[in-house]
């Protein structure tokens, strides 16, 4: 799957053309995304927060699922790149009338957009669109089912890299609802590719997917054991909307066993980073004193997310342009 995925995402020159998932991408490409995002952080500090890289281009945010934070950061990223932006709340329109994903795609193409940022509840939806879309349109996956959330993973990697020298000496713990988390899957892949030697997964057995060991992680069912001496703690939101009954006895019990509190955080290294993709369920996954405390970089993640999405969008559009020029030159 990784080979096919990378072939779909890259052009003939090895540049990013779509951004659908982390799987199959090289360490060099992930590092290029992080380096490019680093360069865009300065744009957010300017009086005029714009660069002309996507001037004249149209970006469609196509969200089949709600996500105010992800959609707004993609919109802001596109506008900072000087693109025109169209937000389409598809969940309340076409698909509810029986239109298929393929039909929706054809209608979107008729709008002559240059890039679709897609969030969908079905795993693989972004890959389906990338395989079927006309050649000149770039597809960015803003989250598909339980499968992948690659821009979230890359903003998490940027957050870690800006607060730590590198990945090669780190211990990183991912805690909570692994079973339903596309963020966890993408983070595990990104950390592995970037050379993190100790990736720990901490969760109750009912919230662990089958075969998780294939990601090269260590699995812990005891929070206190798993957190010992880690450098980074990534907490996950309980995906209650995706859960079947019986996976958890109660939210209160989950918090007692797996919630990140000041006491449990003390088991990690004294300067351990605390992260969360949001939105936070305070008192369910994390204590307010920890979420708002000195080790938390949760708000930094939001800031870095804009820069990462600018990087991915600009790189994908450049890759599309190179692909188009190469195809025209061969005719």
In the beta sheet, which residues pair with residue 89? Answer: 63
Better-scored residue on pLDDT, 1 or 260: 260
Instruction: Give the architecture (CATH level 2) of 2-148+303-329.
Output: 3-Layer(aba) Sandwich (3.40)
Question: What are the strands, taking DSSP E only, across the chain?
Answer: 58-63, 84-89, 115-120, 138-144, 171-175, 198-202, 218-220, 232-235, 273-275
Q: How far apart are CA 14 and CA 26, in angstroms?
A: 10
Q: How confident is the model at residue 90 (pLDDT cuts 50, 70, 90)?
A: confident
* Residue 260: predicted pLDDT: 97
Q: How far apart are CA 41 and CA 90, in angstroms?
A: 31
CB-based contact 226:202 (threshold 8 Å): yes
How far are the Cα atoms of 209, 240, 247 from residue 180, in angstroms, in the given order?
Answer: 8, 9, 11
* Residue 20: predicted pLDDT: 97
**Where exactly are the structural domains of the chain?**
2-148+303-329, 150-298
pLDDT tens, position by position, 108-167: 888 889 999 999 988 999 999 999 998 889 999 999 988 999 999 999 999 999 999 889
Domains 2-148+303-329 and 150-298 fall in the same CATH topology: yes
Bind-site residues for L-aspartate? 97, 182, 237
The fraction of the chain above a pLDDT of 70, given in percent, is 92
* Residue 139: predicted pLDDT: 96
Q: How far apart are CA 13 and CA 234, in angstroms?
A: 35
* Residue 168: predicted pLDDT: 96
Alpha carbon dihedral 103, 105, 111, 114, in 10-degree steps, equals -170
* Residue 148: predicted pLDDT: 94
Better-scored residue on pLDDT, 2 or 81: 81
Mean pLDDT of all residues in 177-191: 95
pLDDT tens, position by position, 262-309: 999 999 999 999 999 988 999 999 999 999 999 999 999 999 999 999
For 43-79, the DSSP string reads GGGSSS----TTTT-EEEEEESS--HHHHHHHHHHHH
Helix ranges, 81-138 (H): 101-109, 125-132
* Residue 3: predicted pLDDT: 43
Terminal CA-to-CA distance of the chain, rounded, Å?
A: 31
Bind-site residues? 69-70, 97, 119, 149, 152, 182, 237, 278-279
Mean pLDDT of all residues in 219-245: 85
Q: How far apart are CA 259 and CA 219, in angstroms?
A: 17
Q: Give the CATH number of domain 150-298.
A: 3.40.50.1370
* Residue 64: predicted pLDDT: 87
CB-based contact 119:70 (threshold 8 Å): yes
Bind-site residues for carbamoyl phosphate? 69-70, 119, 149, 152, 278-279
pLDDT tens, position by position, 236-268: 988 755 444 445 667 888 899 999 999 999 999
């Amino acid at each position: 799957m990784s080979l096919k995925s990378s072939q779909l995402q890259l052009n003939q020159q090895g540049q990013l053309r779509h951004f659908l998932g982390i799987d199959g991408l090289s360490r060099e490409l992930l590092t290029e995304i992080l380096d490019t995002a680093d360069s865009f952080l300065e744009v957010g500090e300017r009086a005029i927060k714009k660069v002309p890289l996507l001037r004249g281009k149209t970006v469609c945010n196509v969200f089949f699922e709600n996500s105010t934070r992800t959609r707004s950061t993609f919109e802001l990223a596109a506008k900072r790149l000087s693109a025109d932006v169209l937000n389409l709340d598809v969940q309340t329109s076409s698909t509810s009338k029986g239109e298929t994903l393929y039909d929706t795609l054809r209608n979107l193409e008729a709008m002559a957009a240059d890039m679709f940022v897609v969030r969908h509840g079905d795993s693989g939806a972004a890959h389906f669109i990338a395989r079927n879309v006309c050649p000149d349109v770039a597809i960015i996956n803003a989250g598909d089912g339980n499968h992948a959330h690659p821009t979230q993973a890359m903003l998490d990697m940027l957050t870690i890299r800006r607060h730590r020298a590198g990945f090669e000496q780190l211990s990183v713990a991912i805690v909570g609802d692994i079973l339903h988390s596309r963020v966890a899957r993408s983070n595990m892949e990104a950390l592995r590719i970037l050379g993190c030697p100790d990736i720990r997964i901490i969760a109750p057995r009912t919230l662990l997917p089958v075969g998780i060991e294939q990601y090269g992680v260590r699995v812990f069912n005891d929070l206190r054991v798993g957190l010992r001496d880690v450098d980074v703690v990534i907490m996950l939101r309980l995906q209650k909307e995706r859960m079947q009954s019986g996976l958890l006895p109660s939210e209160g019990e989950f918090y007692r066993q797996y919630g990140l509190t000041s006491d449990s955080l003390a088991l990690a290294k004294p300067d351990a980073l605390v992260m969360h993709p949001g939105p936070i369920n305070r008192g369910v996954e994390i204590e307010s004193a920890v979420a708002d405390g000195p080790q938390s970089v949760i708000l930094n993640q939001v800031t870095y997310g804009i820069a990462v999405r600018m990087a991915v969008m600009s790189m994908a559009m450049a890759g599309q342009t190179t692909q188009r020029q190469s195809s025209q030159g061969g005719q």
